[in-house]
A and B are shown apart, each in its own frame.
Chain A
């Protein structure tokens, strides 16, 4: 009896490894299904599932004349850096995936990128905008623009469209993404208006909900615009408290605002505000509209930028796999071949824009979109800024 159990256990553990060598391609997703930003994980998963169904429904992905079925593995990183590292190790060593998509935000993508690069596995972050994610890591790629592009775009928009001469920044000092972006914004805004034009540069730490002390300091400095590069779960609190303390000026956000859940949490307070992001759902055309309509029909909601970027990121990994020509079955060899195919990817036509890598870095050159939150709560296209 005992021997039978052991045999069953061994078979159970051996099975996944065996499944890979057959006609499947396994791709791992390192995404936050719980934690502070669960909507990001949900959107990523929904977009990936939709893509998988589309390709598997058509008989699989054709690589070198042979059809492969796709197998997507989702691991929750709880939106924590240490869990993202564990999830990366689990996917790379445990699940033996060919490539990893995610982690989405920079706070998790930077530490997980180290793991992926050391293990010579392609990591494709859809939504991480901090430059450190791909720096000196040949195996790490991304599908979005960078904060050293987003920062100037926000500063320029505040100056030209919002007519701001002074600005204030409120950000989470304990997280890589807001910290990096806040610093880029400050640098670029001061370049335009001279040193000291960022009149308040206030911080808080993750999990804080009471920002009134910082906001009181900010209000005292009388800024023309308040820039806050925080995630959608913190934005409602910041906006509401700023308004209650008597701040009447515009509040400018970054691509982390663009979640489908922002308006459900923020309500009327966020209407009329602007943020920098990757794409605008309202008024989209062509392939982007097709994606939005299909997504909306399937999941009954408008996909946000994370969903769209995950679709593109996964699509680009699959395109690179096709480009490899053939799958040898030797994981280490295939991973390296995939890396080379990714690095030479040119003009991938995604729904968030065209993407090319220059072969040296994993950063595509892409345009940013400024979105205005309308009175109906839709994210409407306001203007496009290209590098």
Chain B
């Protein structure tokens, strides 16, 4: 009996870690821009696909260049690839010409450049490794992780530039931005469908199948890594938001978007950073999710994204602790309902309970009521 309880708790922790990771992205963007980024679930899907291509790329299985080609060809290709990516990223975050003495915020591009150089090296070197041993796959995983996070962030920032920023500059109502976000999500889904076709992709096994015993209960290393990652990311975010200057700037933008530029805080850079951070977590979630559920399809982000959104709202959207706790709360409710009642009642009962929580505390568990300034 106890074993079953422990096993179900581990199951819930695992499921909750994805919800939390995605909910944190919703929460960050909402916190800063008061915008519910409904495309976030689909950015998560894009993250999973990027992870797939990054992993197969590192494993040398990708058809882009044949594994047998000489090292010079590989180097040229990798360099070209790096050039394009860096250019795309700097285009995405390019700022208008600065006044003298003002600081230029191009560090994400520099960061990406470093990652991409790393990618190129690992790729070239990775051609010669044999993927029979766990240690080599671990290297592929170690290289896939940062690349996925960076590339997914590029997608997130690109969407912000293309879809949300023009509306923001026009001063459009928040409602239109939300509708734009929904539309972006659909564009990502169907763009993927038409680009890659409807067939499923099978995510390669990156981590060796090691299963730990917790009494009679079992947990695999992929599940454990998802749980650990969610706790790590949560701590990191909490630190960034409460302890760093950028975090302070984010909170300031959240407090008053119009007064902030007057104080010399670069509004645009803060927003880009927020999207960068939120999307990189979606990318991380996508990679971990794909490792546990290795069948990828273009619509995989829709349902998970919705659930993470609900989790963020229940936790109190805009509050990092709220999103984190909300994700796990939703997962625990789902698993408890499936374990105690029948699993077809899972979503019905767990979402009814969440509705009850919102009725009892409309701002969510950690949210504070906002007063309107007159």
Which A residues are within 8 Å of any B CB, using their own CB? 33-36, 38-39, 41-42, 173, 202-205, 207, 209-210, 212-214, 216-217, 220, 233-234, 236-237, 240, 244-246, 261, 264-267
Contact = CB atoms under 8 A, between A and B. Distances in A.
Contact of A214 (B199, B202, B299, B338): B338
B197 A38 contact: yes
* Interface residues of B, dominant DSSP: helix
B20 to A, nearest CB: 14
B294 A203 contact: no
Contacts, number: 85
Contacts of A35: 198
Contacts of A39: 199
Contacts of B87: none
User: Which one of A34, A202, A203, A264 has the greatest number of beta carbons of chain B within 10 Å?
Assistant: A34
B235 interface: no
B200 A261 contact: yes
Contact of B202 (A173, A210, A236): A236
Given A207-B303, A210-B293, A245-B218, A33 B8 contact: no
Nearest to A201: B342
A41 B211 CA distance: 38
Contacts of B242: none
A265 B7 CA distance: 26
B193 interface: yes
B25 to A, nearest CB: 19
A173 B347 CA distance: 13
A202 B343 CA distance: 7
Contacts of B220: 244
20 contacts: A34-B193, A34-B198, A38-B199, A203-B342, A209-B300, A210-B11, A210-B14, A210-B15, A212-B15, A213-B8, A213-B11, A213-B335, A213-B343, A216-B4, A216-B7, A216-B339, A233-B297, A240-B294, A244-B211, A267-B205
B335 A265 contact: no
Contacts of A204: 343-344
B200 A265 contact: yes
Contact of B295 (A203, A213, A233): A233
A214 to B, nearest CB: 5
User: Which one of A38, A237, A244 has the greatest number of beta carbons of chain B within 10 Å?
Assistant: A244
A320 to B, nearest CB: 32
B130 interface: no
Contacts of B299: 207
A261 B334 CA distance: 31
B103 interface: no
A39 B295 CA distance: 14
B209 interface: yes
A18 B80 CA distance: 54
A246 B199 contact: no
A220 B4 contact: yes
A38 B194 CA distance: 13
Interface in B1-42: 4, 7-8, 11-12, 14-15
